[in-house]
Structure 1
Amino acid sequence: MMQADLIGADGYVRNCWYVAARSEDITNTPTASTLLEDEIVLFRGAKDEPIALEDACPHRKLPLSRGTVEGSVIVCGYHGLTFDCTGSCVHAPTQEDARPRRALIRSYPVVDRYGFLWIWMGDAQSANPDDIIDIPNFDNPDWGKTPKGALSMACNYLYITDNLLDPSHVAWVHLTSFAGAGTDNRPLDIEETKDGVIVYRWIHAEPAPPYYAQMLPFADSCDRKQHYECRLPATAINMSIYTPAGQGGADKPLSGEAFVNISYNFITPVDAETSLYFWFQHRNMHADNAEMSQRMFEGATMAFHEDKEVLEYVQTGMAKRKTPYLNLGLDAGAMRFRKMVQRALEAEA
């Protein structure tokens, strides 16, 4: 009997917020999207409000994304059945006096925040926008932001969270960006929170990796914290802290000279073998340096394409495997997170 798959991949946690798209990518032109195996149409209404509906007219299931948006309603391109933001049919041109009562489609709560559209994939009555992740300092003018990235990966979303809870892979996958002395074998600490897992370590008195060296006045010798965190269902927060050598450490307050860069990564399952990956980076200085923001974005984009190549091969290799796989010590954080996902799936079931 073939060894069982890694846990957590049998279904999706639905009662939570996922990123459906970058805000600027959704307009009053209908956009088809598949999220958690649901076919969805996204568009903006007359007041620029985001709307998300089942992408299927109830008559003969023509995708509504092939129709047109008129104000805040969407019109099917087959016979003109028209649906509002609640999924109710508000007009049936071929039988105006007998609008079909069963012409209803599912609507999804959707919120525009932080430059992304967040969609609630579970019970709509349970959707609370306050449950969307809080991003401290998002509106702080002293903090700089990179552009927002979007990428499709042909792999299960949990292979991405596995990777984002593994600080060690940078030593081999990201040689020209995030790799640096100590990333291959320094001990890791693990912390479990109520909704996620943190894997972290301090690396002391080593040169900064290439991605950060040009941003730091103390790059030749610095203390570095790698903070890799995943929260349910699939949000990863990777934080890098750099201080002059001797000023960093878990037992010390944050240095006044510390450079902090936080990478917010939002992963949304498309299906069991495909995922959407969204991100931006947030730093505590150089707020108005647009050239640095662009350079950081391009460097991160290159690194995430390196991840994409590896993880797509992982997806294929695990699907075709004929011999057992194994876990390493570095997988401890990822396996804890998968257990949390599994518990959440069981609770919803």
Structure 2
Amino acid sequence: MYLRNHTWYVADWGHAVTRELRQIEIMGEKIVIYRTEAGDPVALEDACPHRKLPLSMGRLKGDQVECGYHGLTFDCSGACTRVPGQSLIPAKARVRSYPVEQRYDLVWIWMGDPALADPDKILKIEHWGDPSWGFNTGPVMELDCNYLLVTDNLLDPSHVSWVHPGSFAQAACEETPLDIDIRDDGVAVSRWMHDVEVAPLYQPLVPFAGNCDRLQHYEVRFPSLAVIKAVFTPAGKGGRGKALPDDTFLMDSYNLMTPVNERQTRYYWFQLRNVKPDCAETSAFMSKGIKAAFDEDKAILNAVQKGLDSATTRPIDLAIDGGPLRFRRLLDKMIAAENTPPGATGQAAE
């Protein structure tokens, strides 16, 4: 069901991981996360091997976690260092330790084989920390749907016409065809729309007057990390292969989905823009508008999950589903390959 050895997932915002023991869930696994006294993030299996009490209900002793039931204590590697009342520590008295890295004020976690946890596989965030680019974000979204419904949504720009009429939408979004690009790391869908009005959310942001040429570029990296690029040029100045003029508005939106379980997803998001980098009012305006649009997505996707769970007939596919369907097929093959034992033939069961 999940791809574990391909990339890192977001465990949480870096500023949200503190010296307080806290439980998170990823891929149906309960994890306790905290920081050492030196500030390094730690992630351990959140279950004492004795009676399975969550270690998040215990307490920190220096950098080690003491179980709140019988005092078994575990270090950052998951090894048990103390069993009160006996000197011999059982060989099975240990918990899983997950590789974690902090980058871009995010704590990233590796859910697969620790030996394959290469930090270079963490998603690269272009323009992070660039003083000429502005930044905005908002609260983590908790969705009651499978993460693949979110990747479907992000590879389907056509939905903005009906879900986001007050923010991202314009008439050209309904009919302009999409180009689909199959890549080694995911799938991208995109389209240029020429000589159209600037979409409502962006009207106060673009540094020119009048109609625009607009690029919608949505890419989802396997398995659930999305980069959305919005490009607005004055009408007649944009298009594939054209150099962008100096008054182009650019926004890169990062949408990072962490599967909680089969029916829940945690959604981290932020945007970087090439205008008004130091303007707090602009950042607040963008965060408010984008959060409102994402809340519209949340209502739709939660309802879609319920609809699929209670459906008595199979859903149909349309031409606009080309990107999402290709993404799912490729991801299914990657998951099957990851779950095929070395030397085995045939396709592994999911």
TM class, shorter-length: over 0.9
- SS state of the match for residue 331, structure 1? helix
Quick one: distance in 2 between partners of 1:246 and 1:113? Answer: 39
**C-alpha deviations, 1:33-87, integer Å up to 9, x for none?**
1100111111111111100000000110000010112221111101111111110
- SS state of the match for residue 146, structure 1? strand
Which of the numbers 130, 133, 148 marks the counterpart of 1:143?
A: 133
Runs of 4+ residues deviating >6 angstroms: none
- SS state of the match for residue 299, structure 1? helix
- SS state of the match for residue 139, structure 1? coil
Q: Is the 8 A contact 1:208 1:219 kept in 2?
A: no
- SS state of the match for residue 102, structure 1? coil
Q: Is the 8 A contact 1:120 1:127 kept in 2?
A: yes
Q: Which residue is 1:186 aligned to?
A: 176
Q: Give the C-alpha shift of residue 219 in structure 1.
A: 4.8
TM-score normalised by length of structure 1? 0.95
Quick one: distance in 2 between partners of 1:286 and 1:218? Answer: 14
Q: Which residue is 1:28 aligned to?
A: 19
Q: Which residue is 2:345 aligned to?
A: none
**C-alpha deviations, 1:264-294, integer Å up to 9, x for none?**
0000111111111001001122111111111
- Tell me if 1:276 matches 2:266: yes
Task: Output the amino acid matched with 2:66.
Answer: V
- SS state of the match for residue 336, structure 1? helix
Q: Give the C-alpha shift of residue 148 in structure 1.
A: 4.6
Quick one: distance in 2 between partners of 1:152 and 1:248? Answer: 37
Q: Is the 8 A contact 1:261 1:283 kept in 2?
A: yes
Which of the numbers 305, 308, 315 marks the counterpart of 1:318?
A: 308
5+ unaligned residues in a row in structure 2: which ranges?
340-350
- SS state of the match for residue 328, structure 2? helix
Quick one: distance in 2 between partners of 1:276 and 1:332? Answer: 25
1:294-333 to 2 correspondences below 5 Å: 294-333=284-323
Identity %: 46
Q: Which residue is 1:7 aligned to?
A: none
Q: Give the C-alpha shift of residue 257 in structure 1.
A: 1.4
Q: Which residue is 2:102 aligned to?
A: 112
Quick one: distance in 1 between partners of 2:330 and 2:131? Answer: 36
Which of the numbers 8, 29, 34 marks the counterpart of 1:43?
A: 34
Which of the numbers 152, 165, 178 marks the counterpart of 1:175?
A: 165
- SS state of the match for residue 93, structure 1? coil
**C-alpha deviations, 1:316-338, integer Å up to 9, x for none?**
11111112311111110011110
**C-alpha deviations, 1:195-246, integer Å up to 9, x for none?**
1111000011111111100111325311100001100110011110011111
Q: Give the C-alpha shift of residue 255 in structure 1.
A: 2.0
Specify which structure has the bigger relative contact order, considering alpha-carbon pairs within 8 angstroms and separated by 6 or more residues. Answer: 1
Quick one: distance in 2 between partners of 1:237 and 1:217? Answer: 23
Quick one: distance in 1 between partners of 2:85 and 2:14? Answer: 35
1:76-115 to 2 correspondences below 5 Å: 76-95=67-86, 97-115=87-105
Quick one: distance in 1 between partners of 2:67 and 2:209? Answer: 58
Quick one: distance in 2 between partners of 1:219 and 1:226? Answer: 20
Quick one: distance in 2 between partners of 1:119 and 1:54? Answer: 12
Which of the numbers 190, 195, 206 marks the counterpart of 2:196?
A: 206
- Tell me if 1:340 matches 2:330: yes
Q: Give the C-alpha shift of residue 94 in structure 1.
A: 2.6
Q: Is the 8 A contact 1:108 1:121 kept in 2?
A: yes
Q: Which residue is 2:240 aligned to?
A: 250
Quick one: distance in 1 between partners of 2:244 and 2:80? Answer: 56
More displaced stretch, 25-34 vs 215-224: 215-224
Task: Output the amino acid matched with 1:320.
Answer: S
- Tell me if 1:226 matches 2:223: no
Which of the numbers 104, 110, 113 marks the counterpart of 1:123?
A: 113
State the aligned residue count.
338
Quick one: distance in 2 between partners of 1:94 and 1:262? Answer: 57
**C-alpha deviations, 1:149-178, integer Å up to 9, x for none?**
311100000000000001110010011111
Task: Output the amino acid matched with 1:340.
Answer: L
**C-alpha deviations, 1:174-203, integer Å up to 9, x for none?**
111111231111111111110111100001
Quick one: distance in 1 between partners of 2:315 and 2:34? Answer: 43
Quick one: distance in 1 between partners of 2:145 and 2:72? Answer: 37
Quick one: distance in 1 between partners of 2:3 and 2:316? Answer: 25
Q: Give the C-alpha shift of residue 254 in structure 1.
A: 2.0
Q: Which residue is 1:5 aligned to?
A: none
Q: Is the 8 A contact 2:206 2:248 kept in 1?
A: no
Q: Give the C-alpha shift of residue 262 in structure 1.
A: 0.7
TM-score normalised by length of structure 2? 0.94
Task: Output the amino acid matched with 1:171.
Answer: S
5+ unaligned residues in a row in structure 1: which ranges?
1-10
